[in-house]
Amino acid sequence: MVVATPNPIRSEKMRNIELPIIDLSAERPEVSGLIVRACQEFGFFKVINHGVSQDVIARMESQSFEFFAKPVPEKQLAGPANPHGYGSKNIGFNGDVGEVEYLLLSTNSASISQMSNVISPHDPTLFSSAARCYVEAVRGLACEILELMAEGLWVSDTSAFSRLIRAADSDSLLRLNHYPPLTEDSDTSPSSFRRIGFGEHTDPQILTVLRSNGVGGLQISLEDGVWIPVAPDSSAFCVNVGDVLQFNGRERPKETNWAKFALKAYTAFVKAMTNGRFVSVRHRALANSYKPRMSMAYFGAPSLHARIFPPPELVTPQRPRLYRTFTWAEYKKAAYSLRLGDGRLNLFRSR
Ligand code: GA4
C-alpha cells in the first residue's frame, strides 16, 4: 500500500512537518504519481522500504563518526575541501560559514580510494569500501526514483534523468556532515537554538538523497522567511529536487494561504529539466541539538559536459522552454561563483 500523509501541509509555524512519505515497495503507477505530486508541491519527500541495506548505512555512518572523532590536526590532513576533502566551518569559497565539519567526496571510485588514504591512513580500505558500497546503493536508489519521476511525468524515455547520474564521468558528490552538539557551557539563549549549521540554499544538482542519524536540524522553506523543521527519521531517506531538475524556490508566487498555494503549484511554478514542473526548495540545517547530528548526502549530478534541456514531452506551446540549454559545467561554475543562498537559475532563463 502507498502511504502518503493526508494533508502534509501545516500552516502552524515551526511545527515539525511530516513530509510526503513514499513507500517504494508499492505499485509503480501509484508511486510515480505520488512522487510527481511531492516534487511539484514540496520538492522534498521521504522514502521508506527503499531497499538500501542497514549494514551499508551503518558502515558508512560508523566510518564517518570515527573520522570526525579524530583530533583536528589529523582531520586537517584530509583537507582543505578544494574541491574534495575535509572542511570545517567554511562552506564554498565565498565567505559562507556554519557550525559544521564535513568530508566532501567525489563519488568516482578512483577518487574515493585516493581520498581514503588521507581520511583513514591506517586502514584506508575500511573507509573506501564503506563509501563505495554506500554510493552504489544510494545511486541505485536515486536512479530508481528518477525513473519513477519520468514515468509519472509521461516522459517516454524513462531513463532521461537517471542516465545523467549513471554516467561513468558523472560529477556526483558524497557529503558527510557532522554538526557538533551544543555543550553544557553552550549559550542557551533562544538565539543559540537557531545556531546555523548549514545556511539556506538550494542544491544545484539533479537529485539529493539524504540520510541523517535521527537528530533533527533540517528545515525547509516553502514560503520566503518561514522555516519548517523536518522530523528526523533515521530509517528513511529524505529526497529533494535539485536546481537542474527544476528551479530555485525564490520565484514562487507570494501566497500565504498554504492550501491554495499547494493547489496552484501544478500550474504556477517556474521550473530546467522538468521545464518548471518540479521545485528545488530552499533548505538549511540548524546545529541546535545536544546530540551530534550526522548527515550523509548524495548529490546526483550529470557529467560536466552534459547538456541540460527538458525532454520533448515537457515542452508544449502552452509551456514554452523556460531555460536555455546549458551544460552542467556552466551551471556549476555559476553556483560556485555565488554565495550559498544566492539564486542561480535565473541566469539561464530563455527569455
Ligand atoms: C550546496 C549543496 C552541496 O552541499 C554542495 C555545496 C557547495 C559547497 O559546499 O562547496 C556550495 C553549495 C552546495 C551551493 C553554492 C556554492 C557551492 C557552496 C557554495 C557557496 C557540495 C554543492 O554542490 O552546492
Cα 259 to averaged position of ligand 1 atoms, centre (Å):
32
Cα–Cα distance measured from residue 178 to residue 14, given in angstroms and rounded to the nearest whole number: 23
What confidence score (pLDDT) does residue 53 get? Answer: 98
What confidence score (pLDDT) does residue 193 get? Answer: 63
From the candidates 37, 195, 293, 344, give the one annotated as an active-site residue: 293
Given a cut of 50, the residues of the chain with pLDDT beneath it are 1-13, 247-271
Whether this model's ipTM surpasses 0.85 comes out as yes
Cα–Cα distance measured from residue 223 to residue 255, given in angstroms and rounded to the nearest whole number: 8
Share the mean pLDDT of the chain. 87
Cα 296 to averaged position of ligand 1 atoms, centre (Å):
14
Closest Cα to atom 16, ligand 1: which residue?
336
For 60-102, the pLDDT digits (tens) are 999 999 999 999 999 999 999 999 999 999 999 999 999 999 9
Instruction: Say if ligand 1 is within 6 A of residue 91 CB.
Output: yes
Instruction: Say if ligand 1 is within 6 A of residue 201 CB.
Output: yes
- Tell me whether the omega of the peptide bond preceding residue 8 falls within 30 degrees of 0, making it cis: no
Pocket test for ligand 1, best of 88, 202, 340 (most atoms within 8 A of CB): 340
Instruction: Say if ligand 1 is within 6 A of residue 23 CB.
Output: no
Quote the cell numbers at residue 123: 586502514
Instruction: Output the pTM of the full model.
Output: 0.90
Cα–Cα distance measured from residue 19 to residue 232, given in angstroms and rounded to the nearest whole number: 10
Quote the cell numbers at residue 109: 571510485
- Whether 293 is a known active-site residue: answer yes
Instruction: Say if ligand 1 is within 6 A of residue 340 CB.
Output: yes
With residues binned 3-state (H G I as helix, E B as strand, rest as coil), the percentages for the chain, rounded to 5, are 35, 25, 40
For 241-284, the pLDDT digits (tens) are 999 997 433 333 334 343 443 333 323 333 478 888 888 999 99
Cα 30 to averaged position of ligand 1 atoms, centre (Å):
33
Instruction: Say if ligand 1 is within 6 A of residue 203 CB.
Output: yes
DSSP labels for 137-186? Answer: HHHHHHHHHHHHHHHHTT-SSTTTTHHHHHSTTB--EEEEEEEPPP-TTS
